[in-house]
Amino acid sequence: MGSSYIGRQPIVNERGALFAYDLFYARQRGNIHATATLINDLQSSFGIDRILGKRVGFIRADHQFIFNELLSLLPKERVVYALLEESNVDALLCDRLRKLSEEGYRFALNDFAFTPENLEKFSPIFPYLEYVKIDITRSRRIKREDVEQLKQQGLIVIGSKIESHDIHAECVSKGFSYFQGYFISKPRVLENPSFSLDQEAVMQLWNMLQCETGINELVKAFEMNHMISLKLIRFINSAVFSLRNPVSSIRHVLTLMGREPLSRWMLLLMFSEPQESDQDNIPLLLMVIHRTELMTKLLELINPNPTKAQMATAYFVGMLSLIHLLFNIPHREALKRLNVAPDIERALFEGDGFYGELLTMVRSIEILDVGAIEEFLDQHKIDYTKLEPIISETMDTVNKFDEAMG
């Protein structure tokens, strides 16, 4: 098919706040040609600002690429080149990394197994690296003192391929600074889950918006929840919406946006609510925005004239696919609070029906399952060139929210 897609996976700190993106190319095999294609896409097809927003990007680079002038095409303050484990560590590489690091280029060691052999192999280039990414699945015996030794050499340690909260907690205890993997989407289920007071209030207001509650009663209910009203108005006035004139009241918000769009932002407000005065929920909020944007854009790609109800359902399914992560409760229990229809539940859990198919496609895009993506495109007779701008625009939207949330 000749298609090219860029994927990105968040790298987060100990509290879960977004730090950087690890970038990967759909057909990447770690060679210079794949890296060159990725750089070309970052420069032209997608654009580095659209892919990274305000974050830094980690790009895989093999031994050959480090000696290629292509390396200088991207702004060095925006990227970290991550050397592959297969790299040949010799005097030439050491000298090249030394010169480039003196010029301000940044380097990491990508997803290597923490073994005595690898430590001996890569120790000559440690002085020129800023980060080491340790593949947790191949480094089970790593100890806290091992991490401390790397830190003492000026290295920032990132744990990669972390796929459970237990492993994440173990890496935290060992002193890792940053984390990458799918653990963010597989939370620990609490025995006694509860909604915060703000979340309960948002849920009540959301339910009022879904019903035939009159505007005067709605305005009164919102105004009784001062903090929520202030947060919502601040959110609406952010760069995400690009409003010509600032919104100053809930009545103005209701009049300007209408019930359905406001309902969407109310649910987003729950995801954007920080915990313990930090921005821990921002990566989850960005995941939600990514899914809802892709769901609605894919719907429009298949059906250029969708009804408002169809758009609302597509958005709602994308939103609900992650809502259990917000409350740390079983998914079906979270859905009970929203009186979700059986067909939406089937879409979420079995991938059933049209919206289940859309959600499956969104998940395929998130993990860059090229086979599944191209099967979907073939099934709906869609040219891949129509998907690329959708992925790019969605990343752009996510970046705007990231910027607006500080």
Whether the pLDDT of residue 363 is over 80: the answer is: yes
Q: Indicate the SS3 state at residue 104.
A: coil
- Strand pairing report for 178-181 and 18-25: unpaired
Whether the pLDDT of residue 358 is over 80: the answer is: yes
Give the position of tokens 């301000």: 104
Nearest residue to 307 via CA among 260, 252, 269:
260
Asked if 222 and 229 count as a contact pair (C-beta separation under 8 A), the reply is yes
CA–CA separation, 6 and 24 (whole Å): 6
Identify any residues that bridge with 96 across adjacent strands, giving them in sequence order.
none
Confidence at 338, pLDDT banded by 50, 70, 90 = low
Mean pLDDT of 304-309: 88
Whether the pLDDT of residue 405 is over 70: the answer is: no
Asked if 85 and 110 count as a contact pair (C-beta separation under 8 A), the reply is yes
pLDDT value of residue 276 = 42
The tens digit of pLDDT for each residue in 192-217 reads: 344 454 667 777 787 788 777 888 88
Among the ranges given (73-77, 86-90, 120-124, 250-254), the one the predictor scored with the smallest mean pLDDT: 250-254
Mean pLDDT of 382-403: 86
Higher pLDDT, 345 or 358: 358
The tens digit of pLDDT for each residue in 231-240 reads: 777 777 776 6
CA–CA separation, 376 and 300 (whole Å): 15
Confidence at 376, pLDDT banded by 50, 70, 90 = very high
Main-chain phi, psi angles of 280, to 5 degrees: -60, -30
Among the ranges given (184-198, 199-213, 262-276, 300-314), the one the predictor scored with the smallest mean pLDDT: 184-198
pLDDT value of residue 385 = 87
Whole-angstrom CA distances from 42 to 53, 78, 96, 115, 369 are: 12, 11, 24, 34, 20
Q: Indicate the SS3 state at residue 7.
A: strand
Is residue 296 within a helix (H) or strand (E), and if so which, with residue range?
helix 282-302
